[in-house]
Structure 1
Amino acid sequence: MTKPQVVFDPFSDEYYNDPYDIYLRMQDEAPVYYSEELDFYALTRHADVAAALKDHETYSSSRGCDLAMVQSEEGPQKSIIFMDPPDHRVMRSLVNKAFTPRAIQAQRETVEKLIDHYLGLVDPDNFDVVQDFSGPFPVEVITRMAGVPEDYRQMVRHWIDTSLTREPGNIGYTEAGMAAAIESGTYYYQLAQERRANPQDDMISRLVEAEILAEDGQLRKLDDIEIAGFTSLLGGAGAETVTKLVGNAIVTFAKNPDQWQKLLDDRSKVPAAVEEMLRFDGPVHYNVRFTLKEAHLHGTTIPAGKPVFLMKAAANRDPRAFTDAHLFDIDRDRTESQNLGFGYGIHSCLGAALARLETTVALERLLDFMPRYEVQWDGLKKVQMQNVGGYHHVPVKVLR
Structure 2
Amino acid sequence: MTKAELIFDPFSEAYYDNPFDTYRRMREEAPLYYNAEEDFYALTRHEDVAAAFKDFETYSSARGCDLSMVRSPEAPPKSIIFMDPPDHRHMRSLLNKAFTPRAMQAQRATVVEQVERFLGDVDPDRFDVVQDFSGPFPVEVITRMVGVPDEYHQQVRHWIDASLHREPGQVEISEAGMKATIDTATYYYGLVQERRAEPRDDMLSRLIAAEIPGEDGQMRRLDDIEITGFATLLGGAGAETVTKLIGNAAVIFARQPDQWRKLLDDRSKIPAAVEELLRYEGPVQYNVRYTLKEAQVAGGTIPAGKPVFLIAAAANRDPDAFTDADTFDIDRDQTEAQHLGLGYGIHSCLGAALARMESAIALEHLLDFMPRYEVDWSGLQRVNMQNVSGFKNVPVRVLR
Q: Does 1:230 align with 2:230?
A: yes
CA–CA separation in structure 2 for the residues paired with 1:343 and 1:213: 26
CA–CA separation in structure 1 for the residues paired with 2:34 and 2:204: 41
Q: Do the aligned partners of 2:65 and 2:82 also contact (CA within 8 Å) in 1?
A: yes
Match of 1:93 in 2: 93
Match of 2:337 in 1: 337
Match of 1:184 in 2: 184
Please report how far the alpha carbon of residue 168 of structure 1 lies from its aligned counterpart in structure 2 after TM superposition: 1.1
1:39-82 deviations in Å (ceiling 9; x for gaps): 11000000000000000000011000000000000021000011
Match of 1:26 in 2: 26
Match of 1:296 in 2: 296
Q: Does 1:134 align with 2:138?
A: no
Match of 2:381 in 1: 381
CA–CA separation in structure 1 for the residues paired with 2:108 and 2:214: 36
Match of 1:68 in 2: 68
Match of 2:14 in 1: 14
Please report how far the alpha carbon of residue 4 of structure 1 lies from its aligned counterpart in structure 2 after TM superposition: 2.5
Match of 1:324 in 2: 324
Match of 1:355 in 2: 355
Corresponding pairs, count:
400
1:13-63 deviations in Å (ceiling 9; x for gaps): 000000000000000011000011111100000000000000000001100
Please report how far the alpha carbon of residue 230 of structure 1 lies from its aligned counterpart in structure 2 after TM superposition: 1.1
Extract unaligned runs of 5+ from structure 2.
none
Please report how far the alpha carbon of residue 299 of structure 1 lies from its aligned counterpart in structure 2 after TM superposition: 4.4
**Residue type of the alignment partner of 1:147:** G
CA–CA separation in structure 2 for the residues paired with 1:74 and 1:257: 48
Match of 1:172 in 2: 172
Match of 1:155 in 2: 155
**Residue type of the alignment partner of 2:399:** L
1:329-368 deviations in Å (ceiling 9; x for gaps): 0001000011100011110000000000000000000000
Please report how far the alpha carbon of residue 282 of structure 1 lies from its aligned counterpart in structure 2 after TM superposition: 0.3
1:96-129 deviations in Å (ceiling 9; x for gaps): 1111111011100010011000000010233000
The alignment partner of 1:296 has SS state of: strand
Please report how far the alpha carbon of residue 395 of structure 1 lies from its aligned counterpart in structure 2 after TM superposition: 0.1
CA–CA separation in structure 1 for the residues paired with 2:126 and 2:299: 54
More moved, 217-226 vs 352-361: 217-226
**Residue type of the alignment partner of 1:350:** L
CA–CA separation in structure 1 for the residues paired with 2:110 and 2:335: 32
The alignment partner of 2:94 has SS state of: helix
The alignment partner of 1:283 has SS state of: coil
Please report how far the alpha carbon of residue 298 of structure 1 lies from its aligned counterpart in structure 2 after TM superposition: 2.6
Please report how far the alpha carbon of residue 2 of structure 1 lies from its aligned counterpart in structure 2 after TM superposition: 2.9
Percent identity (aligned): 73
The alignment partner of 1:104 has SS state of: helix
The alignment partner of 1:397 has SS state of: strand
CA–CA separation in structure 1 for the residues paired with 2:342 and 2:189: 28
The alignment partner of 2:37 has SS state of: coil
Q: Alpha carbon RMSD of aligned pairs, Å?
A: 0.7
CA–CA separation in structure 2 for the residues paired with 1:32 and 1:228: 37
Match of 2:39 in 1: 39
Q: Does 1:113 align with 2:113?
A: yes
Q: Do the aligned partners of 2:288 and 2:308 also contact (CA within 8 Å) in 1?
A: yes
CA–CA separation in structure 1 for the residues paired with 2:101 and 2:299: 43
More moved, 376-385 vs 208-217: 208-217
Please report how far the alpha carbon of residue 3 of structure 1 lies from its aligned counterpart in structure 2 after TM superposition: 1.1
Match of 2:258 in 1: 258
Map 1:272-291 to 2 at 5 A.
272-291=272-291
More moved, 215-224 vs 195-204: 215-224
Extract unaligned runs of 5+ from structure 1.
none
Q: How does the TM-score come out when normalised to structure 1?
A: 0.99
**Residue type of the alignment partner of 1:3:** K
CA–CA separation in structure 1 for the residues paired with 2:69 and 2:285: 17
Match of 2:219 in 1: 219
The alignment partner of 1:156 has SS state of: helix
CA–CA separation in structure 1 for the residues paired with 2:68 and 2:124: 41
**Residue type of the alignment partner of 1:297:** V
The alignment partner of 1:249 has SS state of: helix
Q: Return closer, same or farther for 1:299/1:325 CA change in 2, 3 Å cut-off.
A: closer
Q: Return closer, same or farther for 1:299/1:366 CA change in 2, 3 Å cut-off.
A: closer
CA–CA separation in structure 2 for the residues paired with 1:6 and 1:200: 54
CA–CA separation in structure 2 for the residues paired with 1:313 and 1:207: 33
Q: Do the aligned partners of 2:31 and 2:299 also contact (CA within 8 Å) in 1?
A: no
1:278-322 deviations in Å (ceiling 9; x for gaps): 000000000000000001123421000100000000000111110
Match of 1:84 in 2: 84
CA–CA separation in structure 2 for the residues paired with 1:298 and 1:350: 30
Q: Do the aligned partners of 2:44 and 2:315 also contact (CA within 8 Å) in 1?
A: yes
Q: Do the aligned partners of 2:30 and 2:299 also contact (CA within 8 Å) in 1?
A: no
**Residue type of the alignment partner of 2:139:** V
